[in-house]
Amino acid sequence: SLVPFQKMLNEARKYHYAVPAFNVADMETIQAITRAAEMEGSPLIIQLYHADLEFAGADFMTSLARTASEHCTVPVSISLDHGQSYEQAVSCIEQGFTGVMIDLSKNDFYENVEDTKKVVEYAHAKNVSVEAELGTIFDADAPLEIRNSGMTDPEKAIEFVRLTGVDALAVSIGTAHGVYSSTPVIDFERAGQIFRTLPCPAVVHGASCTPDEDILKLCSLGVSKINVGTDLNHAFNRGILRGFKIYGENAAIREYMEEGRNEVIKTARQKIQLFRTYAEQ
Ligand code: 13P
Ligand code: ZN
Ligand code: NA
C-alpha cells in the first residue's frame, strides 16, 4: 500500500541518504521506477507534475501507483509536484495521494505561510505529508545570474517551517529545472547550513543534468529528498526512439514501450545508487 513520505524522509535524514522523488506520467514509467526502487531496496516517491496529472488524471495515476506499490516490499508514496493551489492539493488527496507539494513560492512570505498552513491542516488530518517551497527554483535554460537570484534564506526557512508545520521544504541553492544553459554553480555553504538547521528534511529540485559530484556533495551535506524529472524523460525518449528504429511502423506498443521502460529502470537505479553513497547501516 501507499504511505505518506514524512517517515521516509526523517529516516533518510537520520541515515544520510536522499529519497528519490521521480517524476513520471504513465504506467510504464511508474513500473520502471518502482522496479528500480525494489531492485535497489530503496524507498520511493512517485511524483506527478501538475501538467502531467491533468494529462493522465489523478484517479488513473493513484490506481497505477497503488498497484505498483503492491508489487513492492519498499515503502512507496505518491505525491503532487509543484501544486499550484489549495484546491488542487485537496483534489489529489481525495483521489488517494499520500503526499502533496504546495508551491506558493511566487507569493510573499506571509501569503505563502498562510496558504501553505491551510494545506497542512487539511493534509495532516488525512495522514498525508506536505512539502512547500521557499525561495525561487528557476528553469535551467535561464542565464546563471537569474537562476541564482532567488536563493533561500536559511533563517527565513527555519521560521517558515515553524509557522507552517510542513513535513519537508524545497529550497533554492543553485539547481534548476531541466537542461542548464550553463554549468550550475551551487551555494554549498548555504545548502549545508539549511540542511543542518532546518526543523524538517530539506528537498533539492532540478537534479537532472546537475553533475554527479555536485549531487554527491549535497548528499554529504544532508539533503533528504531529491527530485528528478528530465533525466528520466530523456531516458524514456531514448528507449522509445530506439524501439521505433528497431521495430518500425508495425511495432506493437509493448515493443517500443519496453525499450523506454528499460532505459528508465537503468537511469533510476543509477540515481538511487548515487543518492545512497553515504548511507549508514
Ligand atoms: P529536473 O527535471 O531538472 O530533474 O527537475 C525535476 C524537479 O525538480 C521536479 O519537481
Ligand atoms: Zn521541482
Ligand atoms: Na535540472
Grid coordinates in use for 250?
508495425
pLDDT at 110: 97
Domain boundaries, the chain: 6-275
Grid coordinates in use for 155?
533563517
**Ligand nearest, relative to CA of residue 79:** 1
Residue-wise pLDDT for 45-58, tens only, equals 999 998 999 999 99
Q: What is the pTM of this model?
A: 0.98
Residue 281: pLDDT band with limits 50, 70, 90 = confident
Give the Cα separation of 217 and 34 in Å (integer). 26
**73: CA distance to ligand 3 center in Å?**
30
> For the residues 23-28, what does the mean pLDDT come to?
98
Q: Pocket residues for ligand 1 (CB within 6 Å)? A: 23, 81-82, 177-178, 205-208, 227-231
Asked if 247 and 264 count as a contact pair (C-beta separation under 8 A), the reply is no
Q: What CATH number was assigned to the domain covering residues 6-275? A: 3.20.20.70
ipTM of the complex: 0.99
Asked if 23 and 232 count as a contact pair (C-beta separation under 8 A), the reply is yes
